Amino acid sequence: MAIVKSTGISGPQRGLAEQVFSRAAGAPLVPGNAVNLLRDARENYPAWLSAIHLARHSILFENYIIEDDEVGRSFAQALEARAHDGVRVRVLYDWLGCQGTASRRFWRRLRDAGVEVRCFNPFQFDRPLAWLGRNHRKTLTVDGEVGFVSGLCVSHKWLGVPEKGVAPWRDTGLEIRGPAVADLVRAFAQGWGTVGPALDEEACLSDRAPAELGDVALRVVAGVPWSAGLFRVDQLIASLARKRLWLTDAYFVGTAAYVQALRAASRDGVDVRLLVPGSSDLPVLRPLTQAGYRPLLEAGIRVYEWNGTMLHAKTAVADGLWARVGSSNLNPASWLGNSEIDVAVEDTHFARQMESMYMQDLEHATEVVLGGRDRRLVPANPRPLPRSQRGASGQRGRVSRAAAGAMRLGNTVGAAVTNHRELGRTESKVVFVAGVVPLLFAGAALWWPQVVAVPVAALCAWAGVALWSRALRLRRQEARNPEDEPRPVVEAEVPSPPAAAAPDLLPEAGPRNAPEAERRQP
């Protein structure tokens, strides 16, 4: 593996390190792929639509947000046209992500055209907390030959408003051709199968699918709730990086373990940088976002705030050898709660492309540095984007922002209560507000007990009825099929692909991957 090679590991230890990464990611290294880096919607959307128009027998499309606007309707029309021509088109959308963005009429029109549409994890009365786990993936796979992975949803916000000088949302995606596309099909099948009958994976692949079309080795890390595969990979990369680790994230939440890994890398001389959005959908979250900067800055980590429209990319690049692009944010919601998908690429040429794009992004960012009041802004370059082109980040994404803010609030309050780390002065407002809330709650409970008792009683009643309802449903299922095994309630792991050949570790100076080593199972 490239990042392992850069650390000086060789011989039998390299094989062991490769196995560690495969098991941590829950995904083997797949050689022989061609990868194309796509920037923003202006490059991603045309590539997606072109692949859809050229589809011959299968289209697998899943996304967190699909909006019924000019962009969503253009994709709907393309999918309907291919379904009309006999192509098997399947669309998986997230129930929460598409609340208020597309009506039942939009989905009914797709179904009437022959598109198979499924909704991921809609709210159910007898599973009150199950709705918290979302399908946050953004993938498109066509004929089992070409696949796309990104952070982009389907909405006009990603295109911006050119006539008003508002730039598109900043995001990053990949186009993949080669054997790894089969892993994208398996990942889609896992999510599709949690909603209804299983997908026939072989029918979605062509005879040409296994053919090697390039020299890039990569891993498709398809995370499911509580698997934490990408979290383990991010920890390993932070530990093994020797020169550079450059991160871009839309909703960064500095969990103690990950922040410690970044701080340790920086103190060992690694150039660690973090690029985050410069503005928040919810102004109340702004102090929480700023509060997370201090422990990073004190360790020498450089933090930048994006000056343009919404920064939605989720990427990483390390040592000019390893890079990641996908849907996962650096926060517990993505690491543990959601179904996510990311591609970890081990190729020097691609990593250099990512580093070049990162430096271009910093030209439109402002660096945050410690000063007399702990934090001040310093232009990262003399030519930031004009304020008129920054635009607003819009309404969507507030659920993710709110979740990230809640987690950061919990991190700060937890530090204040347990004293496991030193709090910065910028966190004083957060701690003060956190102290006001329980005082108000205590006052309400003393003076108006019913204000507290009634909601608690209602929640307890809901939980009891939900459990009874679930039990009755299981009893009826058992009565109808007494000899059948009960269906599992918990979402299954992504099926492991059959054993095949995997490449040797990537040479430090060359862009090619030598496919001699055996492919290992996660």
Among residues 53, 41, 42, 3, the alpha carbon closest in space to that of 24 is found at: 3
Name 478's bridge partners. Answer: none
Q: How many CB atoms lie within 10 A of CB 160?
A: 22
CA–CA dist 151, 309 (Å, integer): 15
Q: Tell me which DSSP letter residue 304 carries.
A: E
Among residues 157, 180, 158, 201, the alpha carbon closest in space to that of 60 is found at: 201
Q: Which residues contact 472 (CB under 8 A, 6 or more apart)?
A: none
Active site residue 312: yes
Q: Kindly report the CA angle at 130 between 333 and 393, in degrees rounded to 5?
A: 45
Q: Kindly report the CA angle at 234 between 228 and 237, in degrees rounded to 5?
A: 145
User: Which one of 94, 234, 249, 314 is the catalytic residue?
Assistant: 314
Q: Tell me which DSSP letter residue 337 carries.
A: I
Among residues 115, 247, 254, 118, the alpha carbon closest in space to that of 188 is found at: 118
Residue with tokens 């060359």, as numbered in its chain = 510
| 3-class secondary-structure state, position 489 | coil
Residue with tokens 């309630």, as numbered in its chain = 489
Tokens representing residue 356 in the block: 């070049």
Phi, psi of 114 (to 5 degrees): 100, 5
User: Which one of 68, 94, 143, 342 is the catalytic residue?
Assistant: 143
Among residues 158, 181, 252, the alpha carbon closest in space to that of 34 is found at: 181
User: Which one of 5, 40, 138, 215 is the catalytic residue?
Assistant: 138
User: Which one of 171, 215, 234, 312 is the catalytic residue?
Assistant: 312
Among residues 302, 294, 273, the alpha carbon closest in space to that of 374 is found at: 294
Active site residue 243: no
Tokens representing residue 274 in the block: 């973090």
Active site residue 143: yes
Active site residue 164: no
Scanning 226-383, the segments in alpha helix (DSSP H) are 229-240, 256-267, 286-291, 293-298, 332, 348-362
Instruction: Output the CA torsion sign for 408, 410, 413, 414.
Output: negative
Active site residue 136: yes
CA–CA dist 299, 284 (Å, integer): 27
Q: What's the maximum distance between 2 C-alpha atoms anywhere in the chain? A: 73
User: Which one of 5, 136, 157, 364 is the catalytic residue?
Assistant: 136
Measure the N-to-C terminal CA separation of the chain; round to a whole number of Å: 15
Among residues 37, 38, 21, 17, the alpha carbon closest in space to that of 29 is found at: 21
Q: In Å, how far are 102, 170, 302 from 369, measured between CA atoms?
A: 42, 23, 8
Name 9's bridge partners. Answer: none
User: Which one of 215, 249, 281, 319 is the catalytic residue?
Assistant: 319
Active site residue 319: yes
CA–CA dist 252, 234 (Å, integer): 13
CA–CA dist 457, 461 (Å, integer): 6
Q: Which residues are catalytic?
A: 136, 138, 143, 312, 314, 319
